[in-house]
Structure 1
Amino acid sequence: MAIREISTKNQSVNFTFNKSKLLRELLVVISIGLFIGFLAPFGMHELPVFMSISYWVFTCVCGYFIYSPLINLGHKYLSEKFSAPWLRVAISSLIASILMSLVVPLITMIFFNSPINLINDFLHFLPKTLVIGGVITFFSVWQNHVKQQQQQLELSTKVIEEHASTTDTKSIQIEQFMSLLPINKRGQLLCLEMDDHYLKVHTDKGSHMLLMRLKDALLQLEGFPGLQTHRSWWVASDAVVSVNKQNRKMTLLLSNHLEVPVSRTFVDAVKAANII
């Protein structure tokens, strides 16, 4: 039996660099540059449209080659200190915006032959790079997130379909039984313990009580490798660590350090199973 759970809590953010990804993101950046250039903000409406568009496309492309590597480095080197991806992006974007505020005056000088006053220009451009760079970065990260979610959904759907095509009726019954447990208790099945009218299910994630008879549980676990050792106990074969004998008493030590009794009725069956 295989129980698969898809956890998103500790997923790492994957920003794989490849040619198709680069071209796709550059196309988005150029489109943004064209859009901003056509709007001609910050007094650029007085310039020819092609000049405004050229300036903003070039600036956005330069910004991409500043922001993208820094964000990737941020995810790589800040992951131990900051678990939230958005926080790593925010810190990396802030650093990238500072660098971009030093680069923009140079671009402005190249396009418009304007003199540079580094400190004044830096303070002038910093708020703009923070806003524009932040918006473009957010859009890029959101696009990557959506793509990863789609890939994960496709992968999970494929796994479920493959699993369904190769799973027989008995396996389905076993998984249905395990689905009765809380998600945080599902794992490797170790043993079942009857306690009055309740069934205590032990897994490597802990234990949980079910209102169920042992014989009903064994019907659902038919085909799963294990055996009954007592009228109140059933153990999974691969959970047994050792067989302990003392006088006429026999017990099984399980991987969770639980000691399971073997009654006289089931001693021969345990010996015949040759589980150790």
Structure 2
Amino acid sequence: MSAQASDTPLLGTAREWVVDLGVAVGIGVLLGLMGPFGSFFNDGPLVRIAYWAGSLACGMALIGVLARLIGEAARRLGWPYWAMIPLIVLVGSFVQGAPLRLVAIALWPQVADAVSPLAWYGQCVAITTPLVLAYYFIRVRPLTHARTREALVPKSAPSPAADPGAVLYLKMEDHYVRVRTEHGSRLEMGPLSRVTAGLSGVEGLHVHRSWWVARRAIQGVERDGRNLRLRLVDGQAAPVSRASVAKLREAGWLAPEKLA
């Protein structure tokens, strides 16, 4: 289930940071074993892995903060975010590259003569560029687009509570909820739990993390191997999660006469 973009912290959730830093450390371990840019000859694998894993983790933290802050600023100013990517790469490479060079020289003094400051900066740019692009497409772009769409949705959108008896089902679509009624459908701000809160008194169940279905909307049950789907009155098929099967059986929704 997707949460509202406005409920997502600007700098990301703790879970996102754990994942991102974990990926960075994993890439650092791989680079430590490979020894790019001549670092293979600097020291043993454990020292190289510690150096690369630490530098990639710090770089990911820096990139994550810069990308999110600049992404939000670009959205507010109406600027295309892709135009800001070079700025993130150049600034991030400099901010991290300078202290990282000092660390490398402390570990391997020969680096000072073997790699000029300009060449060092170029290496930092080469490593930072794919990280920034990946971070943009995975983290920043979906969030900025969701915030932009959220700003365009009227805050006074009608609630299903105005006519709860007409609701047939609710379906998550990105950061919104598709409310299907007897009279048509509309989009409301998610999450799904907020929208279903206005449906008290209507016989229905959460059949999937992204679906709520009113019992009267069900025409039958379809089986596809071990998977179940509810066949609805408008021709849609709502998936049933395995965790919800027992709940539906207890409610009598999966009676034998309903099987397709």
TM-score by length of structure 2 reads 0.49
Select the structure with the greater relative contact order (CA < 8 A; seq sep ≥ 6): 2
Bigger Rg over Cα: 1
TM-score by length of structure 1 reads 0.47
